[in-house]
């Protein structure tokens, strides 16, 4: 990048640069973000009548395109440039003579502090957090396009180790295989095989033994012969399967390669008991969705639990274990809320519908202040309760499982912190799922953290995030951009790389984005509930009629606000919680500003609640007020229906299909959406979907192929794009159908729970093996993280608890 700035200076563009900087000085703003920089540059180009070629093709144009931030300091400008994904360069450009100096991360963080008047050099340095040295022990990916494909990389790395140093690595593999037991029963190999050398020769013998038998013969028929050779259950349920597994091991010993390694490790029966940690919010199977803090994460975890149990049963059965005896178990660990507001959140144990052995286990927060801890607590406030919650949960989990779990998956910042505490105590593989990292959701949340601390407590949340993401053995993200963003915008994890929490700490290296711990494993959608509207044989006509009435005609002020003048117009539909970021109000405004759209469509919103007095959540209340204001301001009466209902699961599936029956359109207008399950639900139901271009939808949808992107910050452009579709459908009646079918195809081919859990279990096993072989290398990082937990997080959490005690 220094070459690019050099090129600007060397190529007669100096005057433009100087003039552009002078224009920036005229502005009041001292901190410009990418959008503002692009707008300022485009204003510069038009003001000076610059040709198009200059705006985008000049060296200056390119430099501007890569610049994420500009900070105006006294006498100089600080440019934060992102020349490629996951990399950042910072330099200072002096105003007088345009000299360029590269800045260190420390200087950058200081200047950010200075900008908000929180820089105090005379009081000594602020605490600096740097996790990089711990990653120096482990292998790292080189090419940013391979970020998020950690396991492929790790398999290559491990298989090359097996190749280069077979003695050490085969010995490790042998010891690892000898470890596996379930409920006291030895699996895979017994004490008759005493070394790696013996294992290799016994594998060849066993292969000879099975090779004369029919592939379909059951494992039980030769179990005892196998045992006398040193082999225990776990190799396969039939001769064919046992043969394949032994061949994989034989090949791994002789000529290791990454595919064989992955295939072999993925077959080892080493996961029987899984914990999915999701403490905050209302976690239940009915009547919880659409409440504050309870959205996609609950849907995700419940569906994942069901699919995991099924996959575990299938895998263990294929491995030759008797699943009626070796019953895999999945526990969703959540919070017990005594004042449960009509939900089952006050029940300790609840079976997950449609499973044999998946449960919701609810553990209460300790009763520090019954006024608070007996009821729902916002995810922003729960930090003080998590350590004791982890201690209590450990006891309950050990009792429920009658042993330790094999895998702990954390969800969201709080669940990941609890997963860290549990995994550390129980010595179990830890996996993290972020769902949404708040840091990038709230603009300047770190720089101005002190101003919003009372409401959001980001100092606790971001510290918890840093601890948990660094501690995790592996992280699954729903999209690539969740990790490292796009060429234009930084990723959610990337935003933890380097940032300041003024007067608290500076993070100079918050997480290694090139670490193989990152893996993209998107979620799926519950195919029993959400399926194409064309599958009429699976739809209940009564439900359809009832929901049709609810959506378009029912006159019940308790549930619905608004009556449609013409219910036959094409419905624009959206369903979300009334969070500011979900931006349902933006969609209403977009609709309000477009008379053409109002002429051709109705707007139908499912948004949980109708009345401000029914919510304790500040954001929800203010969004409701805003929505009422917009309806009045644009006089949308007769054109909009706002359903204040929380739909049971089956209804939420059918509601999308009814919208599809009406050739409707689904719009997801969020200002940012980490992933967006409603998009999968709408697409699989067959509704052409318009979704925000900020976040996960950018990867789910391929624009104009199986859906459309919208920019929710440009309301008129958004209305135009929807109108263009509506007009195209009017001209070509097949167009709606084409997009509808391609949306359905997209979900079935790429976003199913089966793909997700197969991948997740394979990762759990490979990272379990990697964890086993690299445990010592991780210990110093874990000790550092523990120090942060006890010395930084815990005292702050205690302060918050004291505040709570006085409420």
CB of 299 to ligand UDP, least distance (A): 4
CB 332 within 8 A of CB 359: yes
Q: Among candidates 110, 63, 58, which has minimal Cα distance to 82?
A: 63
Closer by beta carbon to ligand LCN, 585 or else 692: 692
Strands (E), 669-796: 689-692, 708-710
Closer by beta carbon to ligand UDP, 263 or else 299: 299
The listed partner (ligand LCN, ligand UDP, none) that binds 478, CB under 5 to 8 Å by sort, is ligand LCN
Query: Which range binds ligand UDP by CB under 6 A, 205-213, 377-385, 657-665, 677-685?
Result: 677-685
- List the one residue from 236, 279, 608, 686 that touches ligand UDP (CB under 6 A): 608
Distance CA 581, CA 674 (A): 11
- Token pair belonging to 729: 């459908």
Strands (E), 607-725: 640-643, 665-668, 689-692, 708-710
CB of 441 to ligand LCN, least distance (A): 8
Query: Which range binds ligand UDP by CB under 6 A, 106-114, 292-300, 490-498, 741-749?
Result: 292-300
- The residue of the chain with the least Cβ separation from ligand UDP equals 295
CB of 373 to ligand UDP, least distance (A): 25
Q: Among candidates 103, 4, 12, which has minimal Cα distance to 63?
A: 4
- List the one residue from 303, 381, 394, 681 that touches ligand UDP (CB under 6 A): 681
CB of 625 to ligand LCN, least distance (A): 23
CB of 131 to ligand LCN, least distance (A): 25
Burial of 180 (0-12, 13-18, 19+ CB in 10 A): middle
For residue 600, give every residue at least 6 positions away whose Cβ sits within 8 Å of its Cβ, in sequence order, or none: 569, 570, 723, 726
Closer by beta carbon to ligand UDP, 320 or else 608: 608
Strands (E), 576-620: 601-606
Binding mask 354-383 for ligand UDP (x = CB under 6 A): ------------------------------
Burial of 439 (0-12, 13-18, 19+ CB in 10 A): buried
Strands (E), 611-757: 640-643, 665-668, 689-692, 708-710
| 647 makes contact with ligand UDP (CB under 6 A) | yes
Closer by beta carbon to ligand LCN, 177 or else 408: 408
Closer by beta carbon to ligand UDP, 369 or else 693: 693
CA angle 162–165–168, rounded 5-degree value: 90
Residue length of the chain: 807
Binding mask 558-577 for ligand UDP (x = CB under 6 A): -----------------xxx
Reading phi first (left if > 0) and then psi (alpha if -120 to 50, else beta), residue 86 is in: left
Closer by beta carbon to ligand UDP, 491 or else 653: 653
Q: CB count, 10 Å around CB of 578?
A: 26
Closer by beta carbon to ligand UDP, 299 or else 472: 299
- Token pair belonging to 482: 């969740």
CB of 581 to ligand UDP, least distance (A): 8
DSSP one-letter code for 673: B
Closer by beta carbon to ligand LCN, 675 or else 690: 675
The listed partner (ligand LCN, ligand UDP, none) that binds 589, CB under 5 to 8 Å by sort, is none
| 287 makes contact with ligand UDP (CB under 6 A) | no
The residues facing 31 across adjacent strands are: 71
Which chain residues interact with ligand LCN by CB under 6 A? 296-297, 300, 435-436, 478, 523, 673-677, 696
Query: Which range binds ligand UDP by CB under 6 A, 67-75, 119-127, 229-237, 645-653?
Result: 645-653
Assign 378 to helix, strand or coil: coil
Task: By CB under 6 A, name the binding residues for ligand UDP.
Answer: 289-290, 295-297, 299, 575-577, 606, 608, 646-647, 652, 675-678, 681
């Amino acid at each position: 990048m220094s070459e690019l700035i050099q090129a600007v200076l060397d190529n007669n563009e100096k005057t433009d640069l100087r003039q552009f900087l002078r224009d920036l000085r005229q502005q009041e703003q001292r901190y410009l973000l990418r959008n503002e920089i692009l707008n300022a540059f485009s204003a510069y180009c038009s003001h000076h009548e610059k040709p198009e070629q200059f705006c985008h093709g000049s060296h200056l144009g390119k430099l501007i395109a890569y610049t994420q931030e500009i900070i105006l300091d006294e006498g100089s400008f600080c440019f934060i440039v992102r020349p490629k994904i996951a990399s950042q360069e910072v330099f200072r450009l002096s105003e007088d003579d345009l000299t360029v100096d590269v800045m260190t991360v420390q200087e950058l963080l200081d200047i950010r502090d200075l900008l908000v008047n929180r820089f105090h050099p005379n009081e000594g340095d602020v605490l600096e957090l740097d996790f990089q040295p711990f990653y120096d022990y482990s292998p790292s990916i080189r090419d940013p396009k391979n970020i998020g494909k950690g396991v492929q990389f790790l398999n290559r790395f491990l298989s090359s180790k097996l190749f280069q140093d077979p003695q050490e690595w085969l010995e490790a593999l042998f010891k690892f295989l000898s470890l596996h037991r379930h409920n006291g029963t030895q699996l895979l190999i017994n004490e008759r095989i005493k070394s790696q050398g013996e294992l290799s020769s016994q594998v060849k013998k066993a292969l000879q033994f099975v090779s004369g038998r029919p592939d379909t013969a059951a494992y039980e028929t030769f179990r005892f012969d196998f045992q006398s050779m040193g082999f225990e259950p776990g190799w396969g349920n039939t001769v064919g399967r046992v043969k394949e597994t032994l061949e994989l091991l034989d090949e791994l010993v002789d000529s290791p390669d990454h595919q064989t390694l992955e295939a072999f490790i993925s077959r080892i029966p080493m996961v029987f008991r899984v914990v999915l940690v999701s403490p905050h919010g209302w976690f239940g199977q009915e009547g919880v969705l659409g409440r504050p803090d309870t959205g996609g994460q609950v849907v995700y975890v419940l569906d994942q639990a069901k699919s995991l149990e099924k996959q575990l049963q299938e895998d263990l059965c294929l491995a030759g274990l008797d699943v009626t005896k070796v019953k895999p178990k999945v526990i969703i660990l959540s919070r017990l809320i005594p004042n449960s507001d009509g939900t089952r959140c006050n029940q300790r144990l609840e079976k997950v519908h449609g499973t044999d052995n998946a449960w919701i286990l609810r553990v209460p927060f300790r009763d520090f202040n019954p006024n608070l801890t007996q009821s729902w607590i916002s995810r922003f406030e729960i930090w003080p309760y998590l350590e004791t919650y982890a201690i209590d949960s450990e006891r309950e989990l050990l009792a429920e499982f009658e042993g330790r779990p094999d895998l702990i998956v954390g969800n969201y910042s709080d669940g990941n912190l609890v997963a860290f505490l549990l995994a550390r105590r129980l010595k179990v593989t830890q996996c993290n799922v972020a769902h949404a990292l708040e840091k990038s959701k709230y603009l300047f949340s770190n720089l101005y953290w002190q101003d919003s601390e009372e409401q959001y407590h980001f100092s606790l949340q971001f510290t918890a995030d840093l601890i948990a993401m660094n501690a995790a053995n592996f992280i699954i993200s729903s999209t690539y951009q969740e990790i490292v963003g796009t060429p234009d915008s930084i990723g959610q994890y990337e935003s933890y790389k380097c940032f300041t929490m003024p007067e608290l700490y500076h993070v100079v290296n918050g997480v290694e984005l090139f670490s193989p711990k990152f893996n993209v494993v998107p979620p799926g959608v519950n195919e029993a509930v959400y399926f194409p509207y064309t599958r009429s044989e699976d739809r209940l006509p009564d439900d359809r009629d009832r929901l049709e009435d609810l959506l378009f005609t029912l006159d019940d002020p308790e549930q619905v606000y608004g009556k449609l003048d013409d219910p036959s117009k094409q419905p624009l539909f959206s369903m979300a919680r009334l969070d500011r970021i979900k931006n349902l109000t933006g969609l209403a405004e977009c609709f309000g500003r477009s008379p053409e759209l109002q002429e051709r469509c109705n707007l139908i919103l499912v948004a949980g609640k109708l009345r401000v007095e029914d919510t304790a959540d500040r954001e929800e209340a203010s969004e409701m007020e805003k929505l009422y204001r917009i309806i009045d301001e644009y006089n949308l009466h007769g054109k909009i229906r706002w359903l204040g209902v929380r739909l049971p699961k089956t209804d939420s599936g059918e509601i999308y299909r009814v919208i599809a029956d009406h050739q409707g359109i689904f719009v997801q207008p969020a200002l940012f959406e980490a992933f967006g399950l409603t998009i999968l639900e709408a697409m699989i139901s067959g509704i052409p979907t318009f979704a925000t271009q900020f976040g996960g939808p950018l990867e789910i949808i391929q624009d104009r192929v199986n859906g459309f992107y919208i920019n929710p910050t440009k309301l008129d452009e958004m209305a135009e794009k929807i109108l263009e579709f509506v007009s195209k459908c009017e001209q070509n009646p097949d167009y709606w159908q084409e997009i509808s079918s391609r949306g359905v195809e997209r979900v079935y081919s790429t976003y199913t729970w089966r793909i997700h859990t197969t991948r997740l279990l394979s990762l759990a096993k490979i990272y379990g093996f990697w964890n086993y072989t690299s445990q010592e290398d991780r210990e110093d990082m874990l000790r550092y993280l523990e120090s942060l937990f006890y010395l930084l997080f815990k005292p702050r959490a205690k302060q918050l608890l004291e505040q709570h005690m006085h409420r």
